[in-house]
Chains A and B, each alone.
Chain A
Amino acid sequence: MPSWAVLVSQAFNGLALGTLLALVSSGLTIILGTLGVLNFAHGALFAVGAYAAFVILQYTQSFGLAIAIGCAFMLVLGFILERLIRLFYDRPHEDQILVTYGVGIVLVEAVRAGFGGNSQRVPLPSWGQGATQLGFLIYPTYRLQLIAIIAALLLSLYLVLYRTSMGLVVRAGIENPGMVGVLGINVRRAFLLVFAIGVVAVGLAGMLYAPVVAVTPDMGANFMAQSFVVIVLGGLGSFPGAVVGGLLAGEIISLTSAFNSAYSEVMLYALMALLLVLRPQGLFGSEGRV
């Protein structure tokens, strides 16, 4: 049995990983829910975000500025990619998956061609150095800030989705895109915006996580697989499901590794298998939406 302090610090690690997974998955889930497209390029976009932070930091030396420029870059990239994905709205899901997978390969290989396959290091921002005394344990400051920043981002995403008229259109689009179109709302434009927001969300996750990990072209692949699990846990196209599922997944991975690190990832997938048997529609999914 691991000690109390280890468990608490792992719980914090789980929170950091969980909020990150929640951000990645919410980007994936709003695209999936609204457009009906499972974005297989999501992992690649995570890596592109991390590399964007790496490059812009070298020129600006300011983490805040790097994030701002990086977001603008991801937004433009999202608009461009939507032009391609648009061709596939009326085609079978398999085709959509294949084309986004192809986009993922191209993005990862473009990054690899530009920066090589070796891992890059992104420095911590000046305001995130050192560790913070939390009474009973000392925890890296940047990770605490990461939790706070992503929580704020998720909150603002929630406000956009649930408190604005644009969010209303998006949520209605998740329920029934055809009906929204019949009501005279430009669904295509809403789709464009949703896709771009999803891309910015995952790009931001990549940028914010870059200082904590080694930045490689393939860094997104495992995140994508985990965020698939999060979506299966949370329910298709459900924003609250993505957030709760993300936190749950992060805690499962971190707390299991406090007991036996060999099983940390396996446990997550085992839970998914269990949920598939007991509650196939996911925690927040409604019956009938397969």
Chain B
Amino acid sequence: MKGLRSRAWRAHVPELALLFALVAAPVALPHLGFSHDLLTRVLNWGLIGLGFDILFGLTGLLSFGQAAFYGVGGFVTAYLLVSGKLSSVWLALATGTVAAGLFGLVVGWLAVRRIGIYFTMITLAFGQMAYFIENSPLSNYTGGENGIPGIPVPVLGFGAYAIRISAGLPMYVLFAVVFFAGYVLARRIVRSSVGAILFAIKENTGRVALLGHNVPAYKLTAFVIAALYAGLAGGLLGTFQSYMPPDAFSLETSGQLVVQTIVGGAGTLVGPLAGAAVWLWLRDNLQLIPALASLWKFVLGIAFIVLVIGLRRGVCGEIAHWWNERRNLTALRAAEARTEAIEARSGAVVTEPVAPNIDVALALPAPGGRHRGAGRRRGESRGRRPGRCRSAGRGRPSPECRWRPRAGTPDVRPD
């Protein structure tokens, strides 16, 4: 019983670590050049990143059009509030998020028909389309190139007890709470059976389709989830800076999100947050150095190329990788010790209960290599999904479990 409880506790280590980091950040980080506003921005990027990581890190769909949903969420929220159609910021945020999700449904419906390069090109093209729609035909509603100024801040409570969430620390707390809730939800999605199929689509789309799963529907699900996160983040951006800028829609925004995700580590959920911290910190602090003022993005670009060539795990990915390796090693040692103990009692009947070999719909090869988020999931599910990663009865993991692809996964080329 004690072992079970410790395992349940261990499963929530990432949540607890994040909670600790979110509480500690506004106390510790301002000394390192992170103001509360900067931290709030980092959280905002991290929130889009949660959804984007489910789409890219988990499902393997590289979208260059997330700005479209960020912008739709932001502008719908801003328009409803500024035009007086809605007075509650919370309701407007919810409407904006849903609007972004619906737009994601339409774009995703068209985009998931194609894979690989085509998917990326189509999402980028729809991102540009959204930018131009905001800029010209809808400029009566969106303000065109001027954006929408004067968005009110959220209010908590009613009447005399109402608290206006003002800029600075209160706004940080709001973003931290939203981010934490978003993270818990995203982790639940990743660890659910839907998450397992999404990850399987990344690993081997053909096999998932052959097993009878509706691959486009699952891809569309991931796409809409990403759009919902982006929409919520867009709405929050407007209330945070009380102004909704048209650059939310720009190609630059989508690109920045992709770079941040790679720098922080795809497939880790918190990777985009870490990447955003690196990006925004570099931008704000390198600009203070006169010689580097115009070169900060150049430096970041070179660092990005080096990361893509060599260290595909990113900051958080490397940490998670180290953590998993350590735990796998411990598990392996324990298993070997148990085997030796059993062998020492020569002839004794193996008493360890044999896990029934239930084959869930997916017979996946053990994930490994650079896919960190799912690697962690595998570790936690040990024992609960016996069909997947166990040889018959002995504690030692099967050879398949220790298999690591060397350079990424075998690539199913679309052409």
Q: Are B411 and A269 in contact (CB under 8 A)?
A: no
B209 interface contact, C-beta 8 A: no
Q: Which residue of B lies closest to A273 (CB)?
A: B110
Write the A91-105 contact mask toward B (1 if CB under 8 angstroms, else 0).
111110111011101
Chain A residues whose C-beta falls within 8 Å of the C-beta of B122 in the assembled complex:
232, 272, 276
Q: Are A232 and B132 in contact (CB under 8 A)?
A: no
A38-B120, A222-B128, A290-B115 known; A261 vs B415 contact (CB < 8 Å): no
Q: Are B132 and A266 in contact (CB under 8 A)?
A: yes
Stretch of B21-29, B71-79, B160-168, B295-303 that contacts chain A:
B295-303
> Of B117, B126, B407, which contacts A97 at CB under 8 A?
B117
Q: Which of B114, B116, B117, B136 has the most CB of A within 10 A?
A: B117
Q: Considering the chains assembled together, what is the distance between the CA atoms of A63 and B132 in angstroms? A: 34
> Of B62, B252, B297, B413, which contacts A36 at CB under 8 A?
B413
Q: Are B298 and A106 in contact (CB under 8 A)?
A: yes
Chain B residues whose C-beta falls within 8 Å of the C-beta of A189 in the assembled complex:
none
A225-B125, A225-B128 known; A290 vs B118 contact (CB < 8 Å): yes
Q: Are A99 and B305 in contact (CB under 8 A)?
A: yes
Q: Considering the chains assembled together, what is the distance between the CA atoms of A237 and B413 in angstroms? A: 15
A110-B298, A225-B128, A228-B121 known; A99 vs B308 contact (CB < 8 Å): yes
Task: Count contacts on A: residues with CB < 8 A to the other chain.
Answer: 47
Q: Considering the chains assembled together, what is the distance between the CA atoms of A110 and B296 in angstroms? A: 11
Write the A231-244 contact mask toward B (1 if CB under 8 angstroms, else 0).
11000110000000
Chain A residues whose C-beta falls within 8 Å of the C-beta of B110 in the assembled complex:
273, 276-277
A98-B308, A105-B297 known; A91 vs B408 contact (CB < 8 Å): yes
B326 interface contact, C-beta 8 A: no
Q: Are A236 and B118 in contact (CB under 8 A)?
A: yes
B window 291-317: CB within 8 A of A: 294-295, 297-298, 300-302, 304-305, 308-309, 312
B262 interface contact, C-beta 8 A: yes
B window 228-252: CB within 8 A of A: 251-252
A38-B117, A92-B409, A290-B116 known; A269 vs B126 contact (CB < 8 Å): yes
Q: Are B62 and A97 in contact (CB under 8 A)?
A: yes
Q: Are B305 and A103 in contact (CB under 8 A)?
A: yes
B124 interface contact, C-beta 8 A: yes
Chain B residues whose C-beta falls within 8 Å of the C-beta of A221 in the assembled complex:
251-252
Q: Considering the chains assembled together, what is the distance between the CA atoms of A182 and B120 in angstroms? A: 31
Q: Which of B60, B122, B409 has the most CB of A within 10 A?
A: B122
B338 interface contact, C-beta 8 A: no
Chain A residues whose C-beta falls within 8 Å of the C-beta of B301 in the assembled complex:
102, 105-106, 109
Task: Count contacts on B: residues with CB < 8 A to the other chain.
Answer: 48
A99-B309, A232-B118, A276-B113 known; A106 vs B255 contact (CB < 8 Å): no
Q: Considering the chains assembled together, what is the distance between the CA atoms of A95 and B370 in angstroms? A: 13
Q: Considering the chains assembled together, what is the distance between the CA atoms of A15 and B409 in angstroms? A: 45
Q: Considering the chains assembled together, what is the distance between the CA atoms of A98 and B257 in angstroms? A: 12
Shortest distance from the beta carbon of B130 to any chain A beta carbon, whole Å: 9
Q: Which residue of A lies closest to B407 (CB)?
A: A91
Write the A259-278 contact mask toward B (1 if CB under 8 angstroms, else 0).
00111011001101100110
Q: Which residue of A lies closest to B107 (CB)?
A: A273
Q: Which of A32, A105, A116 has the most CB of B within 10 A?
A: A105
Chain A residues whose C-beta falls within 8 Å of the C-beta of B115 in the assembled complex:
290
Q: Are A102 and B414 in contact (CB under 8 A)?
A: no
Q: Considering the chains assembled together, what is the distance between the CA atoms of A222 and B132 in angstroms? A: 11
Q: Considering the chains assembled together, what is the distance between the CA atoms of A92 and B309 in angstroms? A: 12
Q: Are A266 and B118 in contact (CB under 8 A)?
A: no
Q: Considering the chains assembled together, what is the distance between the CA atoms of A276 and B122 in angstroms? A: 9
Shortest distance from the beta carbon of A284 to any chain B beta carbon, whole Å: 15
Q: Are B136 and A263 in contact (CB under 8 A)?
A: yes
> Of A101, A113, A236, A265, which contacts B298 at CB under 8 A?
A113
Q: Considering the chains assembled together, what is the distance between the CA atoms of A44 and B62 in angstroms? A: 20
Q: Are A262 and B113 in contact (CB under 8 A)?
A: no
A window 56-115: CB within 8 A of B: 84, 87, 90-95, 97-99, 101-103, 105-106, 109-110, 112-113
B window 156-186: CB within 8 A of A: none
A280 interface contact, C-beta 8 A: yes
Q: Are A228 and B125 in contact (CB under 8 A)?
A: yes
Main SS class of interface, B: helix
A283 interface contact, C-beta 8 A: no
Write the A193-204 contact mask toward B (1 if CB under 8 angstroms, else 0).
000000000000
Q: Considering the chains assembled together, what is the distance between the CA atoms of A8 and B220 in angstroms? A: 43
Chain B residues whose C-beta falls within 8 Å of the C-beta of A90 in the assembled complex:
407, 411
Shortest distance from the beta carbon of A258 to any chain B beta carbon, whole Å: 15
> Of A95, A232, A262, which contacts B137 at CB under 8 A?
A262
Q: Are A261 and B129 in contact (CB under 8 A)?
A: no
Chain A residues whose C-beta falls within 8 Å of the C-beta of B407 in the assembled complex:
90-91
Shortest distance from the beta carbon of B277 to any chain A beta carbon, whole Å: 19
Q: Considering the chains assembled together, what is the distance between the CA atoms of A99 and B309 in angstroms? A: 8
Q: Considering the chains assembled together, what is the distance between the CA atoms of A99 and B252 in angstroms? A: 16
A229 interface contact, C-beta 8 A: yes
Q: Considering the chains assembled together, what is the distance between the CA atoms of A229 and B129 in angstroms? A: 11
B227 interface contact, C-beta 8 A: no
> Of B120, B125, B137, which contacts A229 at CB under 8 A?
B125
Q: Are A232 and B121 in contact (CB under 8 A)?
A: yes
Q: Are B411 and A91 in contact (CB under 8 A)?
A: yes
Q: Are B415 and A94 in contact (CB under 8 A)?
A: no
A-B complex: 7 closest residue pairs judged by Cβ atoms? A269-B129, A262-B136, A105-B301, A109-B298, A102-B305, A106-B301, A265-B132
Please name 29 pairs of A and B residues whose Cβ atoms are closer than 8 Å in the assembled complex, sorted by A.
A84-B305, A87-B309, A91-B411, A93-B117, A93-B414, A97-B62, A97-B120, A98-B258, A101-B259, A102-B304, A102-B305, A105-B255, A105-B259, A105-B297, A106-B298, A106-B302, A109-B295, A109-B297, A109-B298, A112-B294, A225-B125, A228-B124, A232-B125, A237-B415, A265-B132, A269-B126, A269-B128, A280-B113, A290-B118
